[in-house]
């Protein structure tokens, strides 16, 4: 396919999303699917008063924007692939199993989205208080691991991916160790994006910049190519996410929710694994990595040392605490993400 056709798909996804998002926000209001004014707790059951203080004003805003993004991208991906096959348009399949790559992308997107939707429903409809399908962090983490292993096994056995590319070193064959490695990467980024999704426009904007970076990597890669399923998926994702971020910037009219955050984190990791560039993934997802690192260190310090390692975590919450306004934090994180994305692209050239 030509670049012009890919841009056409991007603008189609953007147009469809812009038409649907306003009535979708209205639907979320009618369903009362919105952030409630409630006290939050960390994974160890401890209260988070600083988080509650800075997020109290967000109560009443609809949550679940990720539902629309996931549905639009998934449906358009299926329709686009059907159209491409019907018209016999040229498309480069990078693996012998033509359907496995599409399966990995859609299964990741939908399965982690479903897990996040469960989390949102439990929180915002009060089911966690009643014990309805109650799960705690260990159970949710176990499900993430199971889903990640399914994806990793598919990539290893169906796609034949068993290597990672390290800048200045080259390809390193992992063999069957690729499966636990890939699963770890997916679980890590799933939770990293979820933790980052705390300010209006932060996670969505950072994700959007990363997607442009991976789109560019596809155009330069001899193994992925501009006209492959991954490139098409990223194209549709970019168009849809632009519409979401437009309504998610401060003051947000809609939030991503766990349904979007978990799904976005998992799919970002899968993109990095599919192009065989985990080092670039870590750099291009640097904002997410720092956010989860500061949160993890803080949680472990409170659990085992019984004191805080940082004044507050994750990182964006620290800047709020010292007096930075929310738009200022988000905009500077976006600028930093642009630099990290460019640096990550540069690493792929080695």
Q: What pLDDT, on a 0 to 100 scale, did the predictor assign at position 132?
A: 40
pLDDT digits (tens, 9 = 90+) for 322-337: 999 999 999 999 999 9
Burial (CB count within 10 angstroms: exposed 0-12, middle 13-18, buried 19+), residue 196 = buried
- If we measure between CA atoms, which residue out of 47, 341, 121 comes closest to residue 217? 341
Q: Is the pTM of this model over 0.85?
A: yes
* Domain segments of the chain as ranges: 3-347
Q: Which residues of the chain have pLDDT under 70?
A: 1, 35-52, 54-57, 124-135, 221-227
CA-only gyration radius of the chain, Å: 20
Q: What pLDDT does residue 125 have?
A: 62
Alpha carbon distance 39, 23 (integer Å): 30
- In this prediction, residue 128 carries a pLDDT of 52
pLDDT at 44 (0 to 100): 47
- pLDDT given for residue 11 in this prediction: 97
**What pLDDT is stored for residue 133 in this prediction?**
46
Is-cis flag, bond preceding 270, omega within 30? no
pLDDT at 48: 64
């Amino acid at each position: 396919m030509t670049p012009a056709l890919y841009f056409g798909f991007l603008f189609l996804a953007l147009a469809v999303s812009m038409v649907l998002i306003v009535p979708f926000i209205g639907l979320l209001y009618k369903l009362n699917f919105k952030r409630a004014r409630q006290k939050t707790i960390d994974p160890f059951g401890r209260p988070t008063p600083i988080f509650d203080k800075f997020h109290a004003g967000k109560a009443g805003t609809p949550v679940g924007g990720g539902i629309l993004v996931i549905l639009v991208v998934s449906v358009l991906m299926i329709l686009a692939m059907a159209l491409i096959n019907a018209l016999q348009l040229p498309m480069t399949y990078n693996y012998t199993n033509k359907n496995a790559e599409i399966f990995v992308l859609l299964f990741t997107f939908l399965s982690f989205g479903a897990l996040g939707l469960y989390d949102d429903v439990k929180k915002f409809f009060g089911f966690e208080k009643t014990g309805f399908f109650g799960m705690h962090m260990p159970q949710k983490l176990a499900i993430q691991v199971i889903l990640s292993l399914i994806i990793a096994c598919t990539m290893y056995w169906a796609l034949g991916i068993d290597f990672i590319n390290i800048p200045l070193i080259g390809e390193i064959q992992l063999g069957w160790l690729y499966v636990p490695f890939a699963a770890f990467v997916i679980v890590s980024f799933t939770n990293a994006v979820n933790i980052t999704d705390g300010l209006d426009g932060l996670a969505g904007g950072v994700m959007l910049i990363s997607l442009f970076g991976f789109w560019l990597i596809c155009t330069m890669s001899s193994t992925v190519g501009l006209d492959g399923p991954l490139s098409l998926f990223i194209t549709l994702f970019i168009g849809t996410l632009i519409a979401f971020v437009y309504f998610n910037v401060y003051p947000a009219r809609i939030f991503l929710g766990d349904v979007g955050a978990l799904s976005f984190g998992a799919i970002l990791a899968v993109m990095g694994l599919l192009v065989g560039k985990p080092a670039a993934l870590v750099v291009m997802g640097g904002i997410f990595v720092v956010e989860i690192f500061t949160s993890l260190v803080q949680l472990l310090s409170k659990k085992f040392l019984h004191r805080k390692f940082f004044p507050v975590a994750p990182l964006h919450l620290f800047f709020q605490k010292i007096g930075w306004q929310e738009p200022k934090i988000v905009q500077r994180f976006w600028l930093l993400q642009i630099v990290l994305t460019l640096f990550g692209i540069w690493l792929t050239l080695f």
